[in-house]
């Protein structure tokens, strides 16, 4: 799943908690989440709290789609 944050101007602890909860649900469903077009101001906040280590980020949707690899088949 790609989350386009291009229009985001502010992200506080509530927004961070929502992203972490979404990631946990995605992981439980064996899915991934990547962030796209994270504004510089928000990127700095994500770096401070360590989200830059949790979520892959891409400048554009096509860049994210090009980097995507399908998960291995469930056995």
Per-residue model confidence as pLDDT tens for the chain (75 residues): 899 999 999 999 999 999 999 999 999 998 889 999 999 999 999 999 999 999 999 999 899 888 877 666 554
**Quick one: which H or E segment has residue 2?**
strand 2-4
CB-based burial label for 51 (10 Å; 0-12, 13-18, 19+): buried
Q: Where are the alpha helices (DSSP H) in the chain?
A: 13-28, 40-49, 61-67
pTM of the model: 0.82
What the block records as the tokens of 10 is 């502010």
């Amino acid at each position: 799943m790609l989350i386009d944050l291009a229009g985001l101007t502010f992200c506080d602890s509530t927004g961070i908690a929502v992203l972490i909860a979404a990631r946990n649900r995605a992981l439980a469903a064996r899915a991934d989440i990547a962030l796209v077009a994270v504004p510089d101001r928000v990127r700095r906040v994500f770096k401070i709290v360590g989200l830059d280590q949790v979520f892959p980020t891409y400048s554009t949707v096509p860049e994210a789609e090009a980097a995507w690899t399908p998960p291995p088949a469930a056995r």
